[in-house]
Structure 1
Amino acid sequence: MTHTTLPQSGTSSGPLSGQVALVTGASSGIGAATALSLARAGASVALVARRADRLEALAGQIRDLGGQAEVIGADLSDQTQARAAVQTTHERLGRLDILVNNAGLMLLGPVAGADPSDFTRMLDLNVLAVMTLTHAALDVMKPQGTGHVVNISSVSGRGASPLSAGYSATKWALGGFSEGLRQEVRLDGIRVTVVEPGVVATELTDHITHQGTKDTYESRIATMTPLEAEDIAAAVLYAVTQPKRVNVNEILIRPLDQG
Structure 2
Amino acid sequence: MLPLHDKIVAITGASGGIGEATARLLAERGAAVVLAARRGERIDAVAQDIRKEGGRALACVVDVTKADDLRRLVSTTVDRYGRIDVLLNNAGIAPISPLADLDTDGWSAMIDVNLRGMLNGVAAVLPVFREQGAGHLVSIVSVAGLTVSPSMAVYAATKNAVRTVHEGLRTESTDGVVRTTAISPGYIRTDLADSMGDPQLRERTREYMDAMGIPPAAVARAVAFAIEQPHDVEIGEINIRPTAQA
TM-score (norm: length of structure 2):
0.96
C-alpha distance in structure 1 between counterparts of 2:136 and 2:216, whole Å: 20
Deviation digits for residues 102-152 of structure 1 (CA, Å, limit 9, x no counterpart)? 000011111112321111111111011111111211111112111111010
Aligned equivalent of 1:184: 172
Give the deviation of 1:19 after TM superposition. 2.0
- Superposition misfits of 4+ residues, deviation over 6 angstroms: none
Give the deviation of 1:16 after TM superposition. 1.6
Aligned equivalent of 2:51: 63
Aligned equivalent of 1:78: 66
CA RMSD of aligned residues (A): 1.3
Give the deviation of 1:80 after TM superposition. 1.8
Give the deviation of 1:217 after TM superposition. 2.3
Aligned equivalent of 2:151: 163
Q: Is the CA contact 1:49–1:75 (under 8 Å) kept in the aligned structure 2? A: yes
Aligned equivalent of 1:3: none
Q: Is the CA contact 2:97–2:103 (under 8 Å) kept in the aligned structure 1? A: no
- For 1:198, the aligned partner's letter is G
- Specify which of 209, 214, 231 is matched with residue 227 of structure 1: 214
C-alpha distance in structure 2 between counterparts of 1:19 and 1:219, whole Å: 37
Aligned equivalent of 2:112: 124
Q: Secondary structure at the match of 1:187?
A: coil
Equivalent residue pairs, number: 246
- For 2:78, the aligned partner's letter is H
Q: Is the CA contact 1:108–1:163 (under 8 Å) kept in the aligned structure 2? A: yes
Aligned equivalent of 2:197: 209
Q: Is the CA contact 1:38–1:45 (under 8 Å) kept in the aligned structure 2? A: yes
Which piece of structure 1 moves more, 22-31 or 138-147? 138-147
- Specify which of 136, 147, 150 is matched with residue 148 of structure 1: 136
TM-score (norm: length of structure 1):
0.91
Which ranges in structure 2 are unaligned for 5 or more consecutive residues?
Answer: none
Aligned-residue sequence identity (percent) comes to 38
Which ranges in structure 1 are unaligned for 5 or more consecutive residues?
Answer: 1-12
C-alpha distance in structure 1 between counterparts of 2:28 and 2:119, whole Å: 28
Aligned equivalent of 1:137: 125
Q: Is the CA contact 1:142–1:188 (under 8 Å) kept in the aligned structure 2? A: no
C-alpha distance in structure 1 between counterparts of 2:145 and 2:2, whole Å: 33
Give the deviation of 1:221 after TM superposition. 3.3
C-alpha distance in structure 2 between counterparts of 1:192 and 1:209, whole Å: 32
Which piece of structure 1 moves more, 15-24 or 26-35? 15-24
C-alpha distance in structure 1 between counterparts of 2:98 and 2:116, whole Å: 23
Q: Is the CA contact 2:145–2:159 (under 8 Å) kept in the aligned structure 1? A: yes
Aligned equivalent of 1:4: none
